[in-house]
Amino acid sequence: MPSTTPFDFSSIPVISYPTSSEENGKFITSLQNALISTGFFYLSGAPVSPETISNLVSYIPKLFALPPEEKDKFAMVHSPHFLGYTRLGTEWTKQKVDWREQIDIATPMTSRWNGKEEERWMNIWGPSQYPDESVLPGFKDAIDTYQAEVTKLGNQLVRFIAQALGLGPDGLDKFYEVPQKMQHRGKIVAYPVPDKEEGERGQGVGPHYDAGFLTILLQASSHPGLQVQNLSGKWIDASPKPGTFVINFGRALEFATQGIVRATSHRVLSPPATDEWRKIGPRYSVPFFHNIDMCVRMGDREKYGLECEDSHTSLHPLLVEPKSSMIVSEEILRLRDARGTLGNTDSVNYSEFLTEPSGKVQLVGRVKSHPDVGEKHYPELFKKLFPNGLPN
Ligand SMILES: O=C(O)CCC(=O)C(=O)O
Ligand SMILES: [Fe+2]
Q: Which 8-state DSSP code applies to residue 37?
A: I
- Report pLDDT for 344: 59
- Report pLDDT for 5: 61
- Given ligand 1 and candidates 92, 103, 227, 266, which is best to mutate, with the most ligand atoms within 8 Å of its CB? 266
- Report pLDDT for 315: 41
pLDDT digit string, tens, across residues 205-214:
999 999 889 9
Closest CA to 297 of 352, 235, 216, 218: 352
Question: What ipTM describes this predicted complex?
Answer: 0.99
Ligand 1, CB within 6 Å, residue ranges = 189, 205, 210, 217, 219, 226, 266, 268, 285, 287
> What gap in Å lies between CA 243 and CA 222, rounded to an integer?
12
> What gap in Å lies between CA 111 and CA 391, rounded to an integer?
29
If you measure from the C-alpha of residue 220 to the centroid of ligand 1, how many angstroms do you get, rounded to a whole number? Answer: 12
Range in 2-6, 150-154, 179-183 the model is least confident about: 2-6
Angstrom CA distances, 56 to 49, 188, 218, 224, stand at 11, 10, 11, 20
- Report pLDDT for 235: 94
Which residue's CA is the closest to the ligand 1 atom numbered 9? Answer: 287
Which residue's CA is the closest to the ligand 1 atom numbered 6? Answer: 287
If you measure from the C-alpha of residue 164 to the centroid of ligand 1, how many angstroms do you get, rounded to a whole number? Answer: 25
Q: How confident is the model at residue 343 (pLDDT cuts 50, 70, 90)?
A: low
If you measure from the C-alpha of residue 372 to the centroid of ligand 1, how many angstroms do you get, rounded to a whole number? Answer: 20
Q: What atom of ligand 1 comes closest to residue 248's alpha carbon?
A: 7
Q: How confident is the model at residue 199 (pLDDT cuts 50, 70, 90)?
A: low
Q: How many beta carbons lie within 10 A of that of residue 371, not counting itself?
A: 19
Bridge partner residues of 102 (DSSP):
86, 189
Q: Which residues surround ligand 2, an ion (CB under 5 A)?
A: 210
